[in-house]
Amino acid sequence: MTSEKITKWGPLALSTLSFAVSSYVLLKYQKQEDKQLPPTDESSKELKKIEKKSEERTVIYPIPSQDRGHGHLSRIMAIDDANAYGNVHGGTILKMIGHCGWIAANRWVHQRTKSNSNGDDDDGKGEHDTIMDSSMVRAVLGRMEQMKFREPMFVGELASLYAKITYTSKHSCEVQVDVFAENVVKGIRRHTNHATLWFVSVRMEPHVLDRSAASLSRGSFLNISKSQIIDVSNDTKMVLIKMPQMDRIASEEQSDGDRRYQFQKYERAHVGEFSQIVQSFELSEWMDRMFQTQDFDQLRPGPTVSTLSHVIAIFFFFFF
């Protein structure tokens, strides 16, 4: 064989050989693996045994009663929590407040299980008390109010948040969240933030979404009733359910809570109206009306603008 032939056909022959060997090895390995699998009956028995063992190991603890309606979060503030001034970013604190309130509200709504249902609260809003599956029950954030940034928080401090249910209405609850910043090195703790959140209790239900209608335009969503808000990604809808009520609440606390509840309801109901008034009100029209009026003149002591203008007009009329 000449060296020319070797250089021409050698690499091709080598690659074919290596391909054949690797295919043979792979097939043999696969066959061995198949042989190792136990028959189906045995394998299912084995699986059941393993599942039983892991179930025995998994202990599900009930949420302690003192934690119901309470939430707690703690975290050291890191460099990436900082804003341009080097303090902790307000958005970081807001997010943690949302999480902490969410813990308290969800622990609260999860008191509603099959065992404590009474089946008497179907008030035509689609809510029945027979909660099928606790994983479908949740509290969703409706409103965040009274967010107070009392003092700045610094990187390196320990942020500790405490949330507590302070009022319940038929379908919503008020959660108060307090935030503390602790300098662990110096042993100093400061009250940095306070917020009030309102959560609404809902149940997720499967819903067949008419995608053709929904995808036409954003406007088509506006036709969907508010109590059937749709989670497009999961094809589920939220249905309002009753909020578990606070018991053993002092009458003063109850009336204070009622007042805060009525106030936020009133505010929500009138925000739309107020913005409509602002939008429809032309500034130029307002300026015209303001300067046409004589009321301001009459309040001033001495000759009014209108009186002076009359004198000047008479002067020009007679002398020019």
Ligand X SMILES: CC(=O)SCCNC(=O)CCNC(=O)[C@H](O)C(C)(C)COP(=O)(O)OP(=O)(O)OC[C@H]1O[C@@H](n2cnc3c(N)ncnc32)[C@H](O)[C@@H]1OP(=O)(O)O
Question: Between residue 19 and residue 78, which ones bind ligand X under the rule CB under 6 A?
Answer: none
Per rule CB under 6 A, is residue 175 in the interface with ligand X? no
Per rule CB under 6 A, is residue 171 in the interface with ligand X? yes
Per rule CB under 6 A, is residue 229 in the interface with ligand X? yes
Q: Are 118 and 214 in contact (CB under 8 A)?
A: no
Q: In angstroms, what is the minimal distance from the CB of 248 to ligand X?
A: 20
Q: In angstroms, what is the minimal distance from the CB of 203 to ligand X?
A: 11
HSE value, Cβ hemisphere, 13 Å, CA-based, for 241: 28
- From 172, 192, 193, 196, residue interacting with ligand X (rule: CB under 6 A): 172
- From 169, 176, 236, 304, residue interacting with ligand X (rule: CB under 6 A): 169
DSSP-based helix, strand, coil % in the chain, nearest 5: 50, 25, 30
Which of 87, 98, 105 has its CA nearest to residue 192? 87
Q: Are 162 and 100 in contact (CB under 8 A)?
A: yes
User: Of the ranges 30-38, 75-83, 85-93, 169-177, which one interacts with ligand X (CB under 6 A)?
Assistant: 169-177
In whole angstroms, give the CA distance from residue 122 to residue 125.
7
Nearer to ligand X by C-beta: 136 or 158?
Answer: 136
Q: Are 118 and 250 in contact (CB under 8 A)?
A: no
Q: In angstroms, what is the minimal distance from the CB of 107 to ligand X?
A: 13
Q: In angstroms, what is the minimal distance from the CB of 128 to ligand X?
A: 16
Q: Residues near 235 by Cβ (< 8 Å), separated by ≥ 6?
A: 206, 207, 208, 209
User: Of the ranges 108-116, 165-173, 186-194, 246-254, which one interacts with ligand X (CB under 6 A)?
Assistant: 165-173
Burial class (CB in 10 A: 0-12, 13-18, 19+), 290: exposed
Per rule CB under 6 A, is residue 265 in the interface with ligand X? yes
Q: In angstroms, what is the minimal distance from the CB of 116 to ligand X?
A: 19
Pattern of binders to ligand X over 124-143, x per CB under 6 A? ----------------xxxx
- From 57, 218, 226, 248, residue interacting with ligand X (rule: CB under 6 A): 226
Number of residues interacting with ligand X: please give it, by CB under 6 A.
Answer: 20
The tokens of 110 are what? 């999860």
Burial class (CB in 10 A: 0-12, 13-18, 19+), 224: middle
Q: Which element (helix H / strand E) includes 213?
A: helix 211-214
Q: In angstroms, what is the minimal distance from the CB of 172 to ligand X?
A: 4
Question: Between residue 183 and residue 212, which ones bind ligand X under the rule CB under 6 A?
Answer: 198, 200, 202
Burial class (CB in 10 A: 0-12, 13-18, 19+), 22: exposed
Per rule CB under 6 A, is residue 147 in the interface with ligand X? no
Per rule CB under 6 A, is residue 109 in the interface with ligand X? no
Q: Are 252 and 220 in contact (CB under 8 A)?
A: no
Nearer to ligand X by C-beta: 258 or 297?
Answer: 258
Binding site residues, ligand X, CB under 6 A: 98, 102, 140-143, 169-172, 198, 200, 202, 226-227, 229, 238, 240, 265, 268
